[in-house]
Structure 1
Amino acid sequence: MADPTKHVLVLAGLTVVSGALRAALHARAARGPAEFTLLLPASEDGAAGHRERLLVAVERLRADGLDVAGQLGDPDPLLAVRQVWDPVEYDEIVLSTFPPGRSGWLERGVPRALERATGVPVAHVVAESP
């Protein structure tokens, strides 16, 4: 019997187009069937730039053969996840940030807060600095 497809919520900001995130999603797909939803927190004043970054990331990953959708979310990463999180819909979370010292999300404790809010483990990907 084939493994069921897992639905993975991927939270990323500026790192959504990073090679590290791309490699992590390929590695996750290699472990078993997966569908990914890229969630990019974006402010209204910068939504056009965020939308373009998200579209580029989705197109690259689809071109690589991954099943990917994308959506913009609230500027606050925790609120963005809370607004879309459904434990029936999603099985896993992947969080992409810049390294410690460069990541406001790490300073705010976003990885642990996501685990508490959703009850699922959060795989953390550290992306290279731009």
Structure 2
Amino acid sequence: MKTILAVANETIGGKQIIELITEKAGDGKARLVICVPRTQPNHGNVIYDDAVYDAARVRVDLARTFLRTVGIEAIGEVGDPDPYSATMDAVAEYHPDEIIISTKPATSSGWLKRDLIERIQDASGLPVQHIVTDVDTEGIGFGVTLVVANRTAAADELLTELKKKAGSERHVFVVVVPQEGGEGTAARRARARLVQLVDRLRAADLLAAGMIADPDPYTATMNAMQFFHVEDIVISTLPATRSGWLRADLIQRVTNATGKPVTHIEATPAGSPAAA
């Protein structure tokens, strides 16, 4: 069985690459390996390594999850921030027979400005198929709702709202949990909340993946908008009397900056006296 290596970043869910993968690897025709290079975020003064890795891993998870719904199993890995190094590392690891590389159009693709396609062809000696995907105009193969929450991540009010939004099996939820501080204990606490919400969504038969992110919820949201083609946003906060996010006018700032529909949920943390 031949092996196909697909390399993409923000365009990983683009319709063209999904259709090409389905054509080449559907019905068990080939083994598929997906490689997503890490991307440095545009927002924030501090780069959190966990958040950068998580963002790429979520793109891998979502691609694999969606492909699974059309009957394709794939191996996925997070690659080096440099797309050339990421591709060549994957070539050395998986020995593919051919490579698919998906990029944005030339006017906006940093990869093409570095002659990525030609360099990989020359270095690997493999056939390389280049797919151009403008996700802003063409869309992707599934709808994406961005979910931003922290202390209310396990709240029933949030889960109820997300269940209402899931009107299609091709709809997925990207969960973002800001760390509420630096790395270490704050990151572990955020990851525990993330895992709890993603597990509850999957238990409800919803497609979901998630990442921990910058401590500032606005920065975390804007970086996620860079990494994913999002249709709408759900932000879950504590009640107004207790929410620092609301005091910082988070809802309006995100609405103004993204131009996306934003749903605000006020919720009570699970296990608190009020929730009980």
Normalising by structure 1, we get a TM-score of 0.89
Aligned to 1:67: 207
Q: Is the 8 A contact 2:176 2:210 kept in 1?
A: yes
Aligned to 1:37: 174
Aligned to 1:9: 146
Distance 1:76 1:21 in 2: 20
TM-superposed CA distance for 1:87, in Å, is 8.9
TM-superposed CA distance for 1:32, in Å, is 7.8
Q: Of 240, 245, 270, which residue of structure 2 is paired with 1:105?
A: 245
Aligned to 2:157: 20
TM-superposed CA distance for 1:30, in Å, is 3.5
Please tell me whether residue 77 in structure 1 is matched to residue 213 in structure 2. Answer: no
Report the more deviating stretch, 111-120 or 77-86: 77-86
- Which protein has greater RCO, CA pairs closer than 8 Å, 6+ apart? 1
Distance 1:16 1:128 in 2: 9
- Aligned-partner SS, 1:16: coil
* Amino acid paired to 1:104: G
Q: 1:103 to 1:74 in 2, by over 3 A?
A: same
* Percent pairwise identity: 35
Q: 1:33 to 1:125 in 2, by over 3 A?
A: farther
Q: 1:52 to 1:87 in 2, by over 3 A?
A: closer
- Aligned-partner SS, 1:17: coil
The alignment of Structure 1 onto Structure 2 pairs a total of residues equal to 127
Runs of 4 or more off by more than 3 Å in structure 1?
Answer: 30-33
- Structure 1 residue ranges without an equivalent (≥5): none
**Aligned alpha-carbon RMSD (Å):** 1.8
Normalising by structure 2, we get a TM-score of 0.44
Please tell me whether residue 126 in structure 1 is matched to residue 266 in structure 2. Answer: yes
TM-superposed CA distance for 1:97, in Å, is 0.5
